[in-house]
């Protein structure tokens, strides 16, 4: 998922709540949630960042959902059948409704809502369109249609491997089997959208909370961009008996220091912490840690002639003391990355974690060898020194600390002059990176599903998130074979080989596997956190 994608820090505030971390009154239960960034879009075919995914996830169910145990479970699809060749999935939808922001029923949720949404993301040339193709679900004809994007005709879009057999039956046909297909169906880019409603709104679809429909546990009842949004329990929800909350209040783009202070004052239920706050709160009963699944890394722009040199990239990577970054700067449970696929993401057919199975450490720290590689690179470039800029978002948790630490490590390399380029997340993600207006970007990626390809695919040639433009023909061919390989052991070995190619060429420079920490009221129960897919599920929260 997009560097911008996925993980969200939370803070919560409610006037009716009080105590160490707020507590709900006997009359109502409100969970107040705040993010460190703003919601960029409520359109599941457009959104790419974690805050937006969480916001949409709160009011929309897909074919599958994440249950209270963090497992994939039936959602809008009450059941499904799989063909013997594992290429055709027939989903049987439950009888449930779309409702508007006021709670008024609008229409039944039908199979066409999925057909329309999946075609829409291709037609909109959405950045997550690749997830319908060989980079994700691998639907029949998806790659060809994605290449056409907005130019694809309606007749052409109708060749996509998703059909509404009838209102309650959805048939999905894959080009080749995808072992993690069902797990994908919990992710936001596969959510349904009611065609009649969306078309009636035109360009204004999802522009405000009034311009979306809900089929999920909550309906959005207010949204002020850059400030806050409110949710109310959806009494028409198909599984409404599991929803204990009456609603939620979110604060958007909240500074973690302010959140912690509000938590101390008894006004919040859950407040994110940055590394600078860990020492103060680590012995507090409300201190809460988790693995958030994100890989933080440095993305070199290979359109820069200096960074196109492998030895320059190698020198930069070897000069980074990642262990020190995690233990002395972050202090939030983050651990040094040893490759591009994080620890704890997925296991081999024999049950061994990918990182443990690889065994190789691709991120060694050796300043002497770093300088040697860097000097070799300078000689190959015919230069005595080079100048590079480090791009980072000031409104993203830990990004400034990472950028400053990176600068301190690289300042030890002779022949390198550094500039720091501070911006905001939206500018970094939506403007500078896509346009290639950077040298080195401090970025991150959160897993959309629990398989190494959620990371490996973004480095293939032409992927919309491969913004550093690293390209390797052998790597691309391997990733293509991985998509069609049905032998799981062979597929696993191919993924290990692909990562080796990427890492030994220093196409990306991994930093650390992100840990998270927060203050969570002891009264908060049932908040489900996942390291892959949409991070937070709110439907099962209770305030006891």
Give the residue from 181, 214, 193, 175 showing the smallest Cα distance to 91: 181
First to last CA, the chain: 34
Question: How many beta carbons lie within 10 A of that of residue 24, not counting itself?
Answer: 25
Nearest to 378 by CA among 313, 293, 455: 313
Closest CA to 147 of 165, 163, 135: 135
Instruction: Give the phi and the psi of residue 304 in degrees, each rounded to 5.
Output: -80, 125
For 371-401, give the secondary structure using H, E and C: HHHHHHHHHHHCCCCEEEEEEEECCCCCHHH
- Which H or E run contains 32? strand 30-34
**What is the DSSP track for 252-302?**
-S--HHHHHHHHHTT--SEEE--HHHHHHHTTSTTEEEEEEEEEEEEEE-T
What is the largest distance, in Å, between two alpha-carbon atoms of the chain? 73
Main-chain dihedrals φ then ψ at residue 405, nearest 5 degrees: -65, -45
Q: What is the pLDDT along the chain (544 residues), one digit of tens a residue?
A: 554 443 333 333 333 333 345 544 446 899 988 787 889 999 999 998 888 999 999 999 999 999 998 889 999 999 999 999 999 999 999 999 999 999 999 999 999 999 999 999 999 988 899 999 988 999 999 999 999 999 999 999 999 999 999 999 999 999 999 988 999 999 999 999 999 999 999 999 999 999 999 999 999 999 999 999 999 999 999 999 999 999 999 988 888 888 899 889 888 888 888 888 888 998 999 998 877 778 999 999 999 999 999 999 999 999 999 999 999 998 888 999 999 999 988 889 898 999 999 989 999 999 999 999 999 999 999 999 999 999 999 988 789 999 999 999 999 999 999 999 999 988 999 899 999 999 999 999 988 888 899 999 999 999 989 999 999 999 999 999 998 888 889 999 999 999 999 999 999 999 999 888 888 888 999 999 877 766 789 999 999 8
**Chain centroid to CA 444:** 9
What pTM was computed for the model? 0.77
> By the 8 A CB rule, do 483 and 491 touch?
no
Cβ atoms of residues 508 and 458 within 8 Å: no
- DSSP structure string for 113-131: HHHHHHHHHHHTT-GGGGG
* Other CB atoms within 10 Å distance of the CB of residue 225: 13
**CA 139/CA 477 separation, integer angstroms:** 19
Distance CA 106, CA 97 (A): 7
- Report in angstroms the alpha-carbon separations of 61 from 38, 166, 210, 450: 22, 20, 18, 19
* Residues facing residue 77 across a β-bridge: 93
Cα distance between residue 64 and residue 62, in whole Å:
5
């Amino acid at each position: 998922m997009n560097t911008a994608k996925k993980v969200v820090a939370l803070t919560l505030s409610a006037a009716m709540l009080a105590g160490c971390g707020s507590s709900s009154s006997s009359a109502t239960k409100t969970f107040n949630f705040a993010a460190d960034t703003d919601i960029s879009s409520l359109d599941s075919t457009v959104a790419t960042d974690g805050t937006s995914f969480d916001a949409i996830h709160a009011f929309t169910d897909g074919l599958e959902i994440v249950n209270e145990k963090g497992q994939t479970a039936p959602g809008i699809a009450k059941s499904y059948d799989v063909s013997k060749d594992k290429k055709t999935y027939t989903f049987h939808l439950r009888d449930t409704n779309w409702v508007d922001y006021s709670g008024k029923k609008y229409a039944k949720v039908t199979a066409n809502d999925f057909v329309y949404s999946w075609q829409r993301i291709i037609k909109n040339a959405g950045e997550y369109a690749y997830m319908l193709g060989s980079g994700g679900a691998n639907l029949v004809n998806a790659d060809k249609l994605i290449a056409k994007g907005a130019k694809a005709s309606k007749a052409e879009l109708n060749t996509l491997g998703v059909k509404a057999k009838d209102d309650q039956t959805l048939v999905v046909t894959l080009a080749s089997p995808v072992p993690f297909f069902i797990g994908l169906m919990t992710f936001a880019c596969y959510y349904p959208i009611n065609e009649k409603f969306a078309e009636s709104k035109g360009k204004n679809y999802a522009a405000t909370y009034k311009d979306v429909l809900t089929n999920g546990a909550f309906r959005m009842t207010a949204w002020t961009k850059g400030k806050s949004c409110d949710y109310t329990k959806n009494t028409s929800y198909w599984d409404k008996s599991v929803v204990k909350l009456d609603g939620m209040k979110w604060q958007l783009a909240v500074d973690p220091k302010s959140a912690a202070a509000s938590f101390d004052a008894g006004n919040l239920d859950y407040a994110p912490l940055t590394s600078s706050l860990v020492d103060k709160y680590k012995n507090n009963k409300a201190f809460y840690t988790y693995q958030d699944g994100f890989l933080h890394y440095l993305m070199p722009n290979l359109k820069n002639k200096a960074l196109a040199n492998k030895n320059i990239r190698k020198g930069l990577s070897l000069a980074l003391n990642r262990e020190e970054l995690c233990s002395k700067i972050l202090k939030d449970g983050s651990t040094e990355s040893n490759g591009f696929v994080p620890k704890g993401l997925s296991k081999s057919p024999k049950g061994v974690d990918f990182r443990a199975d690889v065994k190789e450490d691709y991120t060694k720290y050796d300043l002497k060898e770093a300088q040697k590689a860097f000097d070799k690179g300078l000689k190959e470039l015919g230069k005595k020194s080079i100048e590079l800029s480090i791009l980072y978002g000031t409104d993203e948790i830990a990004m400034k600390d990472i950028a400053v630490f990176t600068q301190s490590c690289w300042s030890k390399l002779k022949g390198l002059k550094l500039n720091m380029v501070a911006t905001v997340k939206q500018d970094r993600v939506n403007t500078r990176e896509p346009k290639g207006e950077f040298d080195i970007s401090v970025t991150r990626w959160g897993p959309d599903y629990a398989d190494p390809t959620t990371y490996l695919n973004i480095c293939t040639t032409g992927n919309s998130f491969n913004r550093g433009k690293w390209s390797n023909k052998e790597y691309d061919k391997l990733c293509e074979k991985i998509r069609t390989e049905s032998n799981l052991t062979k597929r696993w070995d191919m993924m290990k080989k692909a990562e080796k190619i990427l890492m030994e060429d220093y196409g990306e420079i991994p930093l650390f596997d992100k840990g998270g920490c927060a203050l969570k009221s002891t009264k908060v129960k049932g908040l489900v956190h996942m390291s892959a897919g949409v991070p937070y599920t709110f439907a099962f929260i209770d305030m006891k």
